Each structure stands twice: as structure tokens, then as C-alpha cells.
Amino acid sequence: MADLLDDMAAHLVAEAIAIGGSPVAVWNGTVGTIFLGRMPDSVAEPDACISLNEDTGAPPLQTMGRNTAPIIERPRLVMLVRGAPSEYVQPRAVARAAWLALNRVANETVNGTFYQRVEPIGSIAPFECDAGDRWTFMASFDVMRSVS
């Protein structure tokens, strides 16, 4: 089974969601526009980027009691979208496009894992404006996916 962050980055790349350049997912710390599990803070890395992170979700769904493995896990995905200095409208628009793209994941296989649903918990919200005057927007999603 592929990793949740890898899967959702692949989905955003397939949907052509990007900020600050081409929609290139990032693994092992390579610079690009979608970062997995971290938000870059170095000046050598892009101001404008998307960060996908895992959070505690709901308990897995059991179908045959606790004597068998769960069939559906329910992690939570947290998306952060940061813009260039003094930008508000552009990172919010990218956050909205990514929010809609992730919301469309329903009953489909991504990277070999079947996703029943990626459902937003709420709307996009401003998260912070950091010392570099870079606005970050946040959205969280409840995920239901098959355990393989």
C-alpha cells in the first residue's frame, strides 16, 4: 500500500495543482512545489508551496470484531498552502483549487490504494502570516481508504 501523502501528492499532480511553478511532488527533501510531511522554512527553498501532512484520524473500521485486521483506515490529511511574500489572493486560490481536487477523490484507486472518500472537515482558513509576510492557508480532510 502506498503512503497517504504520496497518494494525495500524486492526485494533486494529476489534477495539475501547483503553486510557484510546475506541479512536482517532493520526496526525500528535494525542492519542488509539493512537500510531504514538512513546510520548508529555508530561504533556499520556495516561499510559495503546498505541504501535505498526516494527523491523527478516527479509529479503523472493523467488520469481524477485533480478531481480524481492520478493512478501512481513517487517517486525517492536513494541507497547508503558502504564498510568496505579500501575496494573499494567489495562495488562497491555489488552496481552493487543491481543496476541490482532494474533495473529488471518491471511490477511486490512487497509486494502487482504494479510497472510499477524501472529505473536507471544513472550509479553507487562513492559518498564519509569518515573519516573512507569507500567508499560509489550511484545510483538513477525513480520509477513508482500504487497508491492504
Which listed CATH number (3.30.70, 3.30.450, 3.30.2000, 2.20.28) goes with 4-146?
3.30.2000
Pure H helices in the chain = 4-14, 89-103
- Residue 81, H or E segment: strand 72-82
Q: Where are the domains of the chain?
A: 4-146
- Is 16 a residue whose pLDDT tops 70? yes
pLDDT value of position 96? 94
Q: What is the mean pLDDT of residues 123-136?
A: 91
Q: What is the pTM of this model?
A: 0.84
Mean pLDDT of 84-104: 92
Tens of pLDDT, residues 38-75: 888 766 667 888 999 999 888 777 776 666 666 889 99
What is the structure's pLDDT at 69? 66
